[in-house]
Amino acid sequence: MERGISLVCGASGGLGPAVLDAMAAFGDPVVGVASPRSDLESLSTLRPEVRWERADLSDPAEVEALWGRVDALGEVRRLVNVTGGFASGTVAGGSPETVREMLRLNLETAWWSCREAARRMTSAGGGAIVNVGSAAGISLGGGAAAYAVSKAAVHALTRVLAAELAGDRIRVNAVAPGTIDTPANRAWMGAADLARAVSPARVAATIAALCASGEGPTGTVVEVG
């Protein structure tokens, strides 16, 4: 297993804490990236073992600056892109704003962090990247068109990057969970609707498994249900 920093982008969201726990189990430093308006003092109090940073992960300039700050701490060997958002709606009824927002939150945030990771891990001699997609990006059912398409794009990004980095000992994979049992989803859907939801811990364990082995798979999208 490569030794170095675990960088978790979107670490303050519903899935983020479980992923932080899973990355901490590797015994290496963990850096969590929160949204620009996050209260880093409160996050540091709750998670003093994590080095916290803020960034708009859909802004390539901010992502580049973020990685510059992290470079001073050491080499990133594990990147997990958790950041994302959800919106319902059909293709016929979707607004331009919704389409752009889903692509911004789900695809662009992963894209720019993957770009910076690829540049550095190639020089470092290896690493692991895991993107968080969605089962909706596989089934492509109706009801959340922009969300499903943006997550399918995350899966495609994962496969393309895995092919590009196949000779550099960098593994790039994605997880595609169903609905995750988070506080935000409980508030929106209600506990009864989440009876079959997947736990954050289970998703995080799958992410950790994809990060663990230097000889593991690459270019895969693992469904977690």
DSSP 173-206: EEEEESSB--HHHHHHH-GGGGTTPBPHHHHHHH
The question of whether 218 is a catalytic residue gets the answer: no
User: Of 22, 147, 152, 221, which is the active-site residue?
Assistant: 147
pLDDT digits (tens, 9 = 90+) for 140-162: 988 999 999 999 999 999 999 99
| pLDDT confidence of residue 193 | 75
Distance, CA of 30 to CA of 43 (rounded, Å): 13
pLDDT higher at 71 or 141: 71
Domains of the chain, each with CATH number or no CATH: 5-85+110-138+151-224 (3.40.50.720)
> Quick one: average pLDDT of 86-99?
95
Tokens describing residue 28: 């290496």
175: left (phi over 0), alpha (psi -120 to 50) or beta: beta
Tokens describing residue 67: 């990685």
